[in-house]
Amino acid sequence: MSERIAVIGGGLGGLSAAALLASEGFDVTLFEKNSNTGGKAAVIQGGGFSFDAGPSLLTMPFILHNLFTACGRNSDQYISLKKIEVICRYFYPDGTKIDAFADREKFKTEVHDKTGEPKDHLEKYLTYCQKIYDATADVFILNDFRSLKLFLSSTGLKSLLKLPQIDPLRTVHQANSSFFNDKRLVQLFDRYATYNGSSPFLAPATLNVIPHVEYTMGAYIPEGGIRRISEALQQLAEESGAVIRRGVQIDEIVTDGNKASGVRVDGKIYHFDRIISNADVNYTYEKLLNNPPRAEAKRYRKMEPSGSGLVFYWGVEKEFPGLEIHNILFSQDYENEFRELFEQKKIPSDPTVYVYISSKYHSSDAPRGGSNLFVMINTPYDNGKITEEEVQRTRETVISKVSTMTGEDIRPLIRFEDILTPRMIQERTNSRWGSIYGVSSNSRNAAFLRQANRSSSYKNLYFCGGSAHPGGGIPLVIQSGIIAANKVIEDTKRGSSG
Ligand SMILES: Cc1cc2nc3c(=O)[nH]c(=O)nc-3n(C[C@H](O)[C@H](O)[C@H](O)COP(=O)(O)OP(=O)(O)OC[C@H]3O[C@@H](n4cnc5c(N)ncnc54)[C@H](O)[C@@H]3O)c2cc1C
């Protein structure tokens, strides 16, 4: 008889774990509290406009392809990805505009033409970023670095030798300042620390792995939007045999000694051999486990959540030929912006604004002649300071910035509006205080403190998703689902009782 597996949560991590285990013959049931799967990667629709609710850019697509291959399928039959030529258009307060081209030569020329920075500085920088990737990918991203077997393998030993290359002692900003003369380029590359909700002025330079992932491996958008990834993973899980129960909230993980024996829903207990939580790790300890392991729960409670975001979804009756799919309007004083975010823990007074317009690629995302503006700023997690008045004040600041950039007041052109606040992120996905990327990566040892994919207290409890190893963001949460599923497969083969 195949083992019975419960997956709690239908985010991208949970769907990935469910798909892989079902394809291996496990009897998988995934419980999702919302009426749709996808978690943060949901969709928002209204007034003829469609918006990706959360993530807007896909990197490391090989992880997605690997998952489909591991399930015996071809990802091309489920999802079609387009490589983006201009990854992002950057607007600076001094009027400079820099296009970050995917093509390396074009990008070097653009950077040189706009800032005078010698072309070889960019080349040297991206080579340095690649070295960090080469030193970290096998051990820290694609696998569980806690595995002794991995460390004793040739891959693990090679990675150990490369450890000095991961640049953990400098901050992202210190490292970037050492490569570029022009402050605008430092700001451009500092921004990548925000990809996991961190500050470039605090987070270790190891995060400079991210520009490699984006510029050397490429940035992608799926046909049908990022939401197509959630749909494709759900389809993969169901075709592989997983049962997905939407609108079912798990109230408790029931334990018996050092085993998780089942889940409680509406007062009824359902028994399972193994349980994977795709819900936020802190929430799993605080709210789901009836008998949380004290040390782990306490350690996790103390860890600072990552930053969050405030998103305005504006359906606008206008097209914007001067904008790209992805655009950044930088703040005047980046250091102060992060001081406000991470020290004062408030919405920045002059925030950097991100504008994503998917209708530039999928015309059906907006009525003819219109655009769907996904406009996001970084915020702290929900610490009680993000009041309704604060949100409205920020809305005005952001609208003014976007209007100045486009050269036209967009207020009278808005036909549809929706807003996502950190509190709403918490309510919709149970992420602790609405943090987007689990725990903060603002310290050198953060990567080592993240929740492992297998619990050390309950032998048949596993974790996947943005707050577990290897971290947040689409490719990493899919990988976390793969790692958690592989742990289950390994444990079953070893005969470790579930
Ligand atoms: C505004 C925003 C912008 C982002 N931009 C990007 C980007 O451009 N690129 C990128 O790669 N990433 C981005 N991300 C991050 C990315 O979306 C997340 O890292 C990823 O989607 C999280 O997946 P997850 O598996 O952790 O699950 P989550 O999305 O956190 O989903 C967890 C699921 O578990 C369910 N659940 C929780 N508790 C229970 C329970 N008790 N019972 C049943 N179900 C439960 C929830 O309802 C939810 O569906 C962004 C996120 C946001 C919010």
Per-residue model confidence as pLDDT tens digits over 219-236: 999 999 999 999 999 999
Q: pLDDT value at position 160?
A: 65
Residues 6+ apart with CB under 8 A from 384: none
* Residue 142 confidence class, pLDDT cut points 50, 70, 90: confident
Q: Do 307 and 200 touch, CB atoms closer than 8 A?
A: no
Are 204 and 178 contained in the same domain?
A: yes
Q: Is residue 11 part of a domain?
A: yes
Atom of ligand 1 nearest to the CA of 477: 25
Q: How far is the CA of 280 from the centre of ligand 1 (A)?
A: 9
Q: Whose CA is nearest to atom 41 of ligand 1?
A: 250
How far is 66 from 81, CA to CA, in rounded Å? 14
Burial class (CB in 10 A: 0-12, 13-18, 19+), 53: buried
pLDDT at 52: 97
Residues 114 and 180 in one domain: yes
What's the pLDDT score for residue 231?
97
Strand locations in 258-299, DSSP E?
259-265, 268-271, 274-277
How does pLDDT run across 380-399, given as a tens digit for each residue?
999 888 999 999 999 999 99
Give distance in angstroms: CA of 196 to centre of ligand 1.
Answer: 13
- CA distances from residue 11 to 180, 288, 371, 464, 469 in whole angstroms, order as listed: 38, 17, 27, 9, 15
How many CB atoms sit inside 10 A of residue 267's CB? 7
- Contact between residue 202 and residue 442 where contact means Cβ atoms under 8 Å apart: yes
Mean pLDDT across the chain: 94
Query: Residue 363: is its pLDDT beyond 80?
Result: yes
Comparing 263 with 445, which gets the higher pLDDT?
263
CA distance 3 to 17: 14
- Return the sign of the alpha-carbon dihedral for residues 465, 31, 246, 80: positive
* CA terminus-to-terminus distance, the chain: 13
9 pLDDT exceeds 70? yes
pLDDT of residue 468: 95
Place of tokens 């359906």: 315
Question: Could you report the per-residue pLDDT of 406-434, keeping only the tens digit for each?
Answer: 999 999 999 999 999 999 999 999 999 99
Q: In the listed set 428, 463, 482, which residue is the last one of a domain according to the structure?
A: 428
Q: Which of 43, 11, 34, 32 is nearest to 474 (CA)?
A: 11
Q: What is the DSSP letter of 491?
A: H
CATH of the domain at 276: 3.50.50.60
Domain identity same for 309 and 177: yes
Q: Which domain holds residue 414?
A: 82-121+166-223+305-428
Q: What percent of the chain has pLDDT over 70?
A: 96
Instruction: Say which range, 144-148, 288-292, 353-357, has the weakest mean pLDDT.
Output: 144-148
How much distance in Å is there from the Cα of 53 to the middle of ligand 1?
A: 10
- Whether 266 and 175 map to the same domain: the answer is no
Measured CA to CA, the distance from residue 230 to residue 58 in angstroms comes to 12
Buried b (16+ CB within 10 A) or exposed e, 81-107: beebebbbbbbbeeeeebbbbbeeeeb
CA nearest neighbour of 217 among 100, 64, 61: 61
Within this chain, do residues 315 and 180 fall inside the same structural domain, yes or no?
yes
Which pLDDT value is given to residue 149? 64
The CATH number of whichever domain residue 180 belongs to comes to 3.90.660
139 band by pLDDT with thresholds 50, 70 and 90: confident
**Band of the pLDDT at 267, cuts 50, 70, 90?**
very high
Half-sphere exposure of 460 (CA within 13 A, CB side): 26
Question: Please, are residues 207 and 172 in contact by the beta-carbon 8 Å criterion?
Answer: yes
In a domain, 148, yes or no: no
275 and 320, same domain (yes or no): no
Distance, CA 481 to ligand 1 centroid (Å)?
Answer: 13
Q: How far is ligand 1, taken at its centre, from the CA of residue 106, in Å?
A: 34
Report the domain count for the chain: 2
63: confidence class by pLDDT, cuts 50, 70, 90: very high
- Ligand 1 centre to CA of 387 (Å) is 23
Q: Is residue 150 part of a domain?
A: no
Please give the Cα distance from 145 to 372 (Å, whole number).
Answer: 41
What per-residue confidence (pLDDT) applies to 261?
A: 95
Same domain, 108 and 216: yes
Under the phi-then-psi rule, with left for phi > 0, alpha for psi from -120 to 50, and beta for the rest, what region is 335? alpha
Least confident residue range of 113-127, 132-146, 164-178, 238-252 = 132-146
| Whole-number Å distance between alpha carbons of 37 and 242 | 13
Amino acid type, 85: E
The verdict on residue 191 lying in a domain is yes
Is 370 inside any structural domain?
yes
Q: In Å, what is the CA distance from 305 to each residue of 99, 105, 141, 353, 451?
A: 32, 38, 20, 22, 13
Tokens 């997605």 correspond to what residue?
64
More confidently predicted of 136 and 98? 98
CA–centroid distance, 408 to ligand 1, in Å, is 34
Q: Which two tokens stand for residue 150?
A: 């991995």
Same domain, 111 and 193: yes
159 in a structural domain: no
Residues 229 and 195 in one domain: no
Q: Worst-scoring range by mean pLDDT, 277-281, 353-357, 438-442?
A: 438-442
Please check whether residue 133 lies inside any domain of the structure. no
pLDDT reading at 493 higher than 80: yes
The per-residue pLDDT for 141 is 84
- Best CA proximity match to 224, nearest among 414, 405, 43: 43
Structure tokens at 125: 């920088």
Low-confidence winner among 20-24, 60-64, 374-378, 455-459 (lowest mean pLDDT): 455-459
Residues 27 and 117 in one domain: no
Q: What is the pLDDT of residue 88?
A: 98
Nearest to 215 by CA among 319, 110, 331: 110
Supply the pLDDT for residue 420: 98
Q: Are residues 329 and 237 in the same domain?
A: no
142 CB neighbour count, 10 Å cutoff: 21
Tell me, what's the pLDDT at 495?
83
| Per-residue confidence (pLDDT) for residue 152, from 0 to 100 | 61
From 444, 468, 454, 485, select the one nearest 147 (Cα to Cα).
454
Q: Any residues with Cβ below 6 Å from ligand 1, and which?
A: 8-14, 31-34, 39-41, 54-57, 249-250, 278-279, 309, 311, 376, 425, 429-431, 436, 465-466, 472-474, 477
Same structural domain, 372 and 420: yes
* In-domain check, residue 135: no
Test site for ligand 1: of 40, 51, 253, 418, most ligand atoms within 8 A of the Cβ: 40
Which of 16, 429, 469, 478 is the best mutation target for the ligand 1 pocket, counting ligand atoms within 8 Å of the beta carbon and taking the most?
429
Q: Comparing C-alpha atoms, which of 245, 231, 277, 221 is closest to residue 466? A: 277
Whole-number pLDDT of residue 301: 87
Q: Which atom of ligand 1 is found nearest the CA of 283?
A: 38
Mean of the pLDDT values across residues 146-152?
63
Distance CA 474, CA 457 (A): 28
